Amino acid sequence: MKKIFLFLSVLLLLTSAAQAQSRVAVIDLRKVFDNYYKTQLADANLKDEAGDLENQRKEMMEEMRKGEDQWKKLLDNANDQAISATERDKSKQSAEKKLLELRQQEETLKQFERSARAKLGEKHRRKRDVILEEIRTLINTRAKAQGFSLVIDTASESINSTPIVLYTSGENDITDMVLKELNSSASPSILKSLEERKDDRK
């Protein structure tokens, strides 16, 4: 319902702008967001953090695998008729204790995975909101400076995942201008590190 209301609001704004012969600009917000160095830097940092969390998960999995091997060995001893009944009982008790430990480790692992997903998801949302607000602030500043009364995102989609903007001549497209200004504050070392990461993925 909110998306339908948003769509109708955009149409109303477009109609009002046309009637008032106002100047309208367009921008590909997805292109600006994806190619902004701060977005790429945030993504790189999140991937590094995700990698660290994955390494921790693998270590926990390896500990569980070792524990399962110990548990199986204790079970084998508990059923081994070649050893004394006392030793078999002792192995059986140890196997039961080890099984409880494994179940606790399994639950700990599940909690760790849930926490890691939530942590990364929240960080991603916070970074995204901060970056979008920064982009929007610059768009507003540039639009006012150039006398535009409305800026439309050509990358936006309707509730049916179809383009809202079906045609634009490309006139008054401020995408490249905004993107260039945003990236102008990036230091050479940051740009170099981002470029190196791209090369490593090839």
SS3 20: coil
Query: What ranges do the domains of the chain cover?
Result: 21-201
pLDDT of residue 15: 54
Euclidean distance between CA atoms 60 and 127, whole angstroms: 29
On average, the pLDDT of the chain sits at 88
Of residues 56 and 193, the one with the higher pLDDT is: 56
What pLDDT digit, counting tens, does each position of 84-101 carry?
A: 889 989 999 999 999 999
- For residue 102, pLDDT over 60 is answered with yes
What pLDDT digit, counting tens, does each position of 38-83 carry?
A: 999 999 999 999 999 999 999 999 999 999 999 999 999 888 888 8
Average the pLDDT over each of 1-5, 114-118, 155-159, 193-197 and give the range with the smallest value.
1-5
CB atoms within 10 A of CB 108: 13
What pLDDT digit, counting tens, does each position of 2-38 carry?
A: 555 455 455 555 555 454 456 999 999 999 999 999 9
SS3 153: strand
Euclidean distance between CA atoms 154 and 165, whole angstroms: 6
Highest-confidence range of 81-85, 118-122, 165-169, by mean pLDDT? 118-122
pLDDT of residue 53: 96
Tell me what percent of the residues of the chain surpass a pLDDT of 70. 87
| Chain-centre distance for alpha carbon 44 | 10
SS3 173: strand
Nearest residue to 175 via CA among 144, 137, 135, 129? 135
Domain 21-201 carries which CATH code?
3.30.910.20
